[in-house]
């Protein structure tokens, strides 16, 4: 059996345990932390298990550890000691008596997404080291995106940490130019994998990674849920923010 399939049973068990835990804690927000760390660990595993250049496998494993380790730690700090986030609370209220089944399916879906998002690490790890220009380009994208998302997350955390800002929308720093700069830099970093997998068998498929992540963020799990929850919690203030600030790609604010 190829190493890429080995994490699947463990992921199913892990997310079933996560679902069981949220049944008792009534806090489904921890699925985000679980997803981030699981994606990092899975990416490291398949990256180191590849049949290609060992140095390239080590590099891609390091990128997954750095990227998803930071994301998981950020989410862990954000959720610790806080009640269930509004979007999951709303989902629980919407599901009503079916909440247990809905969250079970949701957790299992998250397990499948961990495996899907770790696939680029496996593809890259099957190939030879890319040309120098592709290697430097991929690393530049990863570093730029990592710094951008880190800065955006810290700016938002600092804003939310001030009690005077309760019920208000962050318009400072990167959040002045995009309503979701963290999602933008998350998307940006996936452009690195087609470059790093330049000499990998089937590496051309990695060009789909940015498109798939864009669809997830723009239409499925990221922006739609966040926008609706922001309107529920901040109302008119967020509507004014929508009128002046780019949804995704950072751009100058409208007058």
Q: Domain boundaries in the chain? A: 1-127, 130-255
Nearest to 47 by CA among 38, 56, 36: 56
Report the chain's terminal Cα–Cα distance, integer Å: 58
- pLDDT grade for 220, boundaries at 50, 70 and 90: confident
In degrees, rounded to 5, the angle at the alpha carbon of residue 198 between the alpha carbons of residues 197 and 199 is 90
Strand partners for 128: 199
Give CA–CA dist 152/187, Å, rounded: 14
Pure H helices in the chain: 7-25, 30-48, 54-79, 86-95, 99-125, 132-160, 181-189, 192-196, 208-215, 223-244
Q: Taking 90 as the threshold, does the pLDDT of residue 1 lie above it?
A: no
Give CA–CA dist 176/182, Å, rounded: 12
φ, ψ for residue 199, nearest 5 deg: -105, 20
Average pLDDT over residues 104-119: 96
Q: Which two structure tokens, joined as six digits, stand for 22?
A: 């949220």
Strand partners for 199: 128
The pLDDT value given to residue 84: 87
Average pLDDT over residues 96-114: 94
pLDDT in tens, 151-206: 999 999 999 989 898 889 999 999 999 999 999 999 999 999 999 999 999 999 99
Query: Percentage of residues in the chain with pLDDT exceeding 90?
Result: 83
């Amino acid at each position: 059996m190829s190493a890429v399939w080995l994490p699947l049973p463990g992921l199913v068990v892990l997310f079933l345990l996560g679902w069981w835990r949220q049944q008792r804690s009534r806090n489904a927000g921890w699925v985000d932390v679980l997803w981030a760390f699981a994606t990092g660990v899975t990416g490291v595993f398949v990256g180191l298990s590849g049949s290609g250049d060992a140095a390239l496998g080590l590099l891609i494993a390091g990128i997954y550890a750095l990227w998803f380790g930071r994301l998981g730690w950020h989410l862990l700090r954000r959720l610790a000691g806080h009640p269930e986030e509004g979007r999951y609370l709303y989902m629980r209220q919407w599901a009503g008596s079916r909440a247990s089944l809905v969250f079970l399916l949701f957790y299992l879906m998250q397990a499948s997404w961990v495996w899907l998002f770790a696939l680029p690490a496996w593809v890259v790890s099957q190939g030879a080291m890319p040309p120098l220009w592709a290697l430097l380009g991929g690393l530049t994208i990863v570093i730029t995106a990592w710094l951008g998302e880190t800065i955006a997350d810290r700016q938002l955390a600092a804003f939310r940490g001030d009690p005077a800002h309760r019920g208000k929308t962050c318009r400072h720093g990167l959040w002045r130019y995009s309503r979701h700069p963290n999602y933008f830099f998350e998307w940006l970093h996936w452009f690195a994998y087609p470059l790093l997998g330049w000499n990998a068998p089937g590496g051309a498929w990695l060009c789909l990674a940015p498109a798939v992540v864009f669809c997830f963020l723009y239409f499925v799990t990221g922006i739609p849920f966040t926008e609706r929850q922001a309107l529920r919690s901040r109302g008119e203030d967020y509507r004014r923010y929508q009128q002046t600030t780019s949804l995704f790609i950072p751009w100058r604010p409208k007058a």
